Chains A and B, each alone.
Chain A
Amino acid sequence: DVKVTQSSRYLVKRTGEKVFLECVQDMDHENMFWYRQDPGLGLRLIYFSYDVKMKEKGDIPEGYSVSREKKERFSLILESASTNQTSMYLCASSRLTGQPQHFGDGTRLSIL
């Protein structure tokens, strides 16, 4: 079974801090994704990557950046955290484009 592991289940940070969310998958998948999930809005794509060192902006990339130095690891960076970035963050991976995505259990991030 594919396992997608997110480094923290809960995280509390202060406004202005630089925040790192880490995600690791163990099935050699090409594609990795970062979403945020807010009540009533569903999952919204922040960034995705289809290969090492490659990245593409999703629908809401402002205030975020990503890093994919190794195939199995995809990091989401909040450059200067703000309260409107309080949310549930979900990482996912898929073997190829168009195939089902496998999700981690999320990081609930609170920015105070």
Chain B
Amino acid sequence: SQKIEQNSEALNIQEGKTATLTCNYTNYSPAYLQWYRQDPGRGPVFLLLIRENEKEKRKERLKVTFDTTLKQSLFHITASQPADSATYLCAARAEYGNKLVFGAGTILRVKS
């Protein structure tokens, strides 16, 4: 069955460095992927969407890639700041039906 996998271990990085988060999908090829940010006690907030025919998408300090050969999306935050500390969720269009399948999320901690 379709599966979206994100690193379960938290990512700890120093302020100013680039954070790279990974999202792997298995058993199918989603038409698009979405990335969300979630702060403690809050609902997820949409960040970026990338379609299968797009290699890369950028928004300010954020960049997302979609590699259909590796079945992987990478989410980059350049010049990271402590305010970027949050849980980041990857979601893919489901194989069947008009819905999203979410990964469990990766916690990012940016230390000053």
A residues with CB within 8 A of B: 4, 31, 33, 35, 40-45, 48, 50, 56, 58, 90, 92, 97-98, 100-106
A104 to B43 Cα, complex, angstroms: 5
Chain A facing B: main interface SS? strand
Shortest A30–chain B CB gap in Å is 11
Query: Apart from A45-B100, A103-B43, what are 16 other A-B pairs with CB-CB below 8 Å?
Result: A4-B43, A40-B104, A41-B104, A42-B89, A43-B89, A50-B98, A58-B99, A92-B43, A98-B31, A98-B98, A101-B34, A102-B46, A104-B43, A105-B41, A105-B43, A106-B43
Chain A residue contacts of B103, Cβ below 8 A: 42
6 contacts between A and B (CB under 8 A): A42-B4, A42-B104, A98-B98, A100-B34, A100-B46, A103-B43
Tell me if B42 counts as interface (CB < 8 A to partner A). yes
Q: Per-residue 0/1 for B32-75: is the Cβ within 8 Å of any A Cβ (1 yes, 0 no)?
A: 10100000011111100100000000000000000000000000
Q: Which residues of B contact A41 (CB under 8 A)?
A: 104
| Cβ-defined contact, B104 with A103, below 8 A | no
